[in-house]
Chain A
């Protein structure tokens, strides 16, 4: 039966490639060979083409070699009953179709620049719902979720469901299972995305329901996302197609759902996706391809009822998804984290500067805690009118033999995303700047303030059960009570900050490894010390300690740092031994405090990347969110592409934002005084801490000496500024030694 699939897919690939060729020729006539051809804000050119063929498409004329390669890949049409084997041909045709589609979509960016909306959100009111290629900022931010497992994979949905309600059911089911849904193509003009909008579902990167485009060619955006993950996080070299595709098969758990009639062009795309190890699961009666081999299990599974679509799909892909039921009346999962509650939809609002608000997790005596108890002290949803505001204090008390004060902030920090995971509830900030919005939709389904406590109780147990035994929550909305708690909470925050601030690398014998990212970057090993937090910004030393308690065989392992080999650069024998083993023998030593000499390895998850600027005798750093050019001559995404993937790259190092103001930040090379450039947005974000750190090192106005893009984005441009303000780096000893 798969002869029919092969026949259709080869036919479809011919259509796609020849149409692409026509489109290319017309574009050449109209725009000329030097017309730039690119997806927005990416260092990976046209990413499928770049990763598979190693060709950098920068201008229209470059697409010609790609299309020529597509034509070479095209197999003969399948004819007669006696024919040569078609599987290899089918896969080649599929790949040719995907490569050609990437050219087609890139030309669309030239012909119709406003067709796709840049960024994470759709403009539903404005009728601009298609987001097209994810830029590198989105890819890195979202890609990390694939790395740490908070998003185990993605479903590429092609076509449309029979009706909006079924579309909603499927989409929400994937959301509950934490998967991303990438949407493309249409079924006689109807798209899955529009069905979701009609059913009142929020779409966009924030809710993990991503409308790529209305045509089948937009499928290439999903594959481009996957291949960039392989290059950005896996350190796979462009053009090393075998490794890129194997990486996707083994590490990116994606699959295709074909909804509605499957035409030849869809078949070509499905065949293309099989190269990635992504199988197709369809709701129609298409020929199945069950034997395993290219994909982990089946290749094409047909006739799947809609209510079994999600379960069958993840089974076919071989994906283990764990979901916990939270005892609340609304859907719950990371996919709802990015969902907004708009002003008009707000039922209740707390904090956010509008009312007093705080959150506090505290250790308590075993006897004082009744596990699972949630008390609401003050008015609840039933007592208020839509649009009302209340003060709020969320106090969680935990008790247990293994519980330590050190773990309080770790648990407390979880409140933000745990509450946000509830559908129709929005949470921003933390501590005393927390901001809650509870939407009308959630209230309609029966959500009350008590459920905040229920969520925290259930999730704390699920994620941190190993470090405590009992947990109870008190939700205060009584204004007097909240005002009473607030100063206590603020005092607790201060004590904690001082304690962690006081910890030093010298005073600590045990560091922690973090190999969480090895799911995506197999040789990358972070080692986290009190004064060097993880480069992703998500893990500090305490987090790792708690994580080890929770999961003693997990990715965070204690490392006895052992003999100090170099105190200035931060090099320890015990750490080196561990890294050698954990990097699968690829890294034998690295330094914690240097960017010049064997700096720590960097993976694609880093928040910031620092680079030496030789002319200024200093360094610059750039955060992931800054998309502009930097004085290193590279944008963040290019830097990340160059040094990510678990390599030691002298002259460059990845680090967290927080690390910039830690005492040991590149101390071996001169420390913060070397910092000559950073994006303005980053400077503002760190302003207070930069001021404080400046004072500590006796240069309170250092912050004003650090150039930003306002002064320039080349070394020449900023040099004049540095001279003018007398930046200390200019007169320090040569950074290159």
Chain B
């Protein structure tokens, strides 16, 4: 191992040894730091270390390379992008757009496959073939069905569910027409989509078409390629992801806030610790059911443990945190370090963002590492497949092996003590309730306080963590800057865990907000930062945007809203797809870290400027959190000015004539 390590040690061109990594520069998460240092001291590696050692490929970073056929790969000069073209004549715009399109396709495919998997389970549940899960939230089922025009009044749950399944299946399989949730899109936004021909037909069709169009010698007009990027991305946001969120709520309950905790301090030395990592809720839900069985506790006790302690990480964890208040041990870059506690008896994963290194690292610390999904097998991992029809099987096996590992914990256990409590589990439905109770619930107070200026606007800060930037730092600094400027922040995925660790999901964090936002937070009793769940739950942000438009006073389309989005530490292709669906929906979306594009190209100008003129949102890029905040706030102010809500609102006093003129 140490020989290998030496071999990998980076050497500068002059042959001098470069500076050793200082882990304090790589993360602001103190438990992760502690464990990173432990991993290093134990002589192992993490993504952070590997990123330190390996520079990103400069050609790839700017997406100036095309390997879509074997006349190349062709490499263009990012410094002088129009100086040459590929062997086939492809320009930098075509190459950049095609590469971008492939990322959208991959990211979109991930969410869409996740959503379709959920829908499969839903179908089998309503057909009676899956007994282990059931429709838990009938109210949500009815409201989702009603939202896409299914008659619900006086009908049996199962009837509605069957119709809903049939409708939602179209999200994936339809070949013509518009996906069902297009009905939820504000009319003017939908009009823009139709005008530009980007309303998705069905996710499979869009992904297939994007793969076709980016094949050698097909679509070589970057504007046309970007249209298909939008259409494919929208099939994710308003399609695959939204179906995933809605069906998950229907099967497992719509989240309502819990006081719950994050960080590694929730590992328990005297219990069998099992971490679920990945993205889909099914394995986690089955694990919750299995670990709640008193027999399991008995077995753990027999092995000398006080019980079984279930924790989540990454997006699976974010969903379980919001829906059930299950503790969350950390975000993407903490998944490797947490293994070094030695306290993780088992880690079970499903899909997405599972680093291959986990198999090796788990072996180093004696953690049992399980893959469970046939789509995601890892060399060296134990594969125990999770079957929806028999949901208790895999969990029981994982628990059994975890207990066994507890009995024989080989490594020294070091658990960082930090636990961060906060409020998690906001949903569109709960936001409605939160702002008016059972009888007056609506988004009116949100819109009103945006119009009167107490809240400047709303920002979605989402996405991964990335070893190329200091973990959590950009998320936390950006969000603090936003709330200080009265921008309400909604969050999903790993970003929300960063802020939860920073204590921003406590109601008291309102003191960090500007006066207006603080006042609203105190009135509602909410933190200035709302956590909405996993990365597919970005669809909740789309729904919230649509509802803000519907409530009135903030324009006719999502593009009119004083809102902005950001993924400041993103690393996955899913993030690119999410960014594109937000942009296509009308939201200004800023990315940090890096952007796979060559500046100064027509393609760049289209994404960063021209899309906005077409009625969509647009992309932005900055690495520095303060700069990102400045960009987002400037955009919010621009939208406020366009809405005519920049100044102080005049107090209108109502006469009888006004009342007669009032609608309804």
Contact = CB atoms under 8 A, between A and B. Distances in A.
Contact of A522 (B445, B519, B664): B664
28 contacts: A1-B522, A81-B507, A86-B524, A87-B434, A87-B437, A88-B434, A88-B437, A91-B437, A91-B440, A92-B437, A92-B438, A92-B439, A95-B438, A245-B439, A251-B659, A291-B519, A291-B523, A293-B523, A294-B436, A294-B444, A296-B654, A315-B653, A318-B653, A322-B655, A516-B660, A519-B656, A519-B660, A522-B664
Nearest to A322: B655
Interface stretch (B120-128, B237-245, B351-359, B447-455): B447-455
Contacts of B452: 291-292
Given A253-B654, A291-B445, A555 B660 contact: yes
Nearest to B261: A82
B449 A84 contact: no
B662 interface: yes
A251 B662 contact: yes
Nearest to B423: A84
Nearest to A246: B664
A499 interface: no
B518 to A, nearest CB: 10
Nearest to B508: A81
Interface residues of B, number: 45
A85 B659 contact: no
A84 B523 contact: no
A82 B524 contact: no
A88 B433 contact: yes
A318 B658 CA distance: 11
B380 to A, nearest CB: 41
A320 B259 contact: no
Contact of A84 (B258, B436, B438, B508): B258
A320 B438 contact: no
B664 to A, nearest CB: 6
Given A90-B437, A275-B437, A320-B653, A515 B506 contact: no
B660 A87 contact: no
A318 B654 contact: yes
A522 B433 CA distance: 28
B662 A522 contact: yes
Nearest to B522: A2
A89 interface: yes
A480 B658 CA distance: 51
B81 interface: no
A84 B257 contact: yes
B520 A291 contact: yes
Contact of A275 (B440, B446, B508): B440
B597 to A, nearest CB: 40
Nearest to A90: B437
B254 to A, nearest CB: 14
A241 interface: yes
Contacts of B524: 85-87
A547 to B, nearest CB: 13
A100 to B, nearest CB: 15
Contact of A83 (B259, B441, B655, B664): B259
A297 B506 contact: no
Q: What 4 A-B pairs come out closest when comparing CB atoms? A: A293-B445, A91-B437, A149-B656, A86-B525
B489 interface: no
B651 A242 contact: no
Contacts of B259: 80, 82-84
Contacts of B119: none
A82 B507 contact: yes
A152 B259 CA distance: 45
A242 B440 contact: yes
Interface residues of A, number: 55
Interface in A257-298: 275, 289-294, 296-297
Given A82-B422, A84-B258, A318-B652, A95 B659 contact: no
A95 B437 CA distance: 10
- The listed residue with most B CB atoms (<10 A of its CB), out of A243, A322, A522, is A522
B4 interface: no
A494 to B, nearest CB: 36
B662 A250 contact: yes
A6 interface: yes
B365 to A, nearest CB: 33
A289 B523 contact: yes
A95 B259 CA distance: 25
A3 B525 contact: yes
A52 interface: yes
B20 interface: no
Given A78-B525, A291-B520, 8 more contacts: A1-B522, A3-B507, A6-B525, A91-B436, A149-B656, A250-B659, A251-B662, A290-B523
Interface in B30-57: none
A87 B508 CA distance: 15
Interface in A222-270: 241-243, 245-246, 250-251, 253
B423 A293 contact: no
A532 to B, nearest CB: 22
Contact of B653 (A80, A245, A319, A519): A319
Interface string A43-64: 0000000001000000000000
Given A3-B525, A299-B523, A522-B663, A88 B445 contact: no
B437 A320 contact: no
B303 interface: no
A148 B452 CA distance: 31
Interface string B626-655: 000000000000000000000000011111
A304 interface: no
Contact of B656 (A1, A3, A152, A318): A152
B343 interface: no
A583 interface: no
A634 interface: no
A152 B658 CA distance: 12
B261 to A, nearest CB: 10
Contact of A292 (B421, B441, B449, B525): B449
Contacts of A318: 651-654
A78 to B, nearest CB: 8
Interface string B410-442: 000000000001110000000001111111110
A216 interface: no
B143 to A, nearest CB: 14
B185 interface: no
Interface in A430-472: none
B526 interface: yes
A108 B659 CA distance: 36
B653 A85 contact: no
A293 B433 CA distance: 13
Contact of B525 (A2, A149, A246, A250): A2
A3 B655 CA distance: 34
Given A87-B523, A290-B519, A315 B651 contact: yes
Interface in B552-609: none
A686 interface: no
A291 to B, nearest CB: 5
A383 B452 CA distance: 61
Interface string B296-335: 0000000000000000000000000000000000000000
Contacts of B445: 291-294
Nearest to A555: B660
B440 A294 contact: yes
Given A149-B656, A251-B662, A294-B440, A2 B523 contact: yes
A275 B439 contact: yes
A325 B630 CA distance: 54
Nearest to B441: A88
Given A52-B439, A275-B437, A293-B435, A85 B421 contact: no
A546 to B, nearest CB: 18
A81 B256 CA distance: 18
Contact of A85 (B440, B525, B658): B525
Most buried by A among B259, B446, B452, B664: B664
A84 to B, nearest CB: 4
A297 B662 contact: no
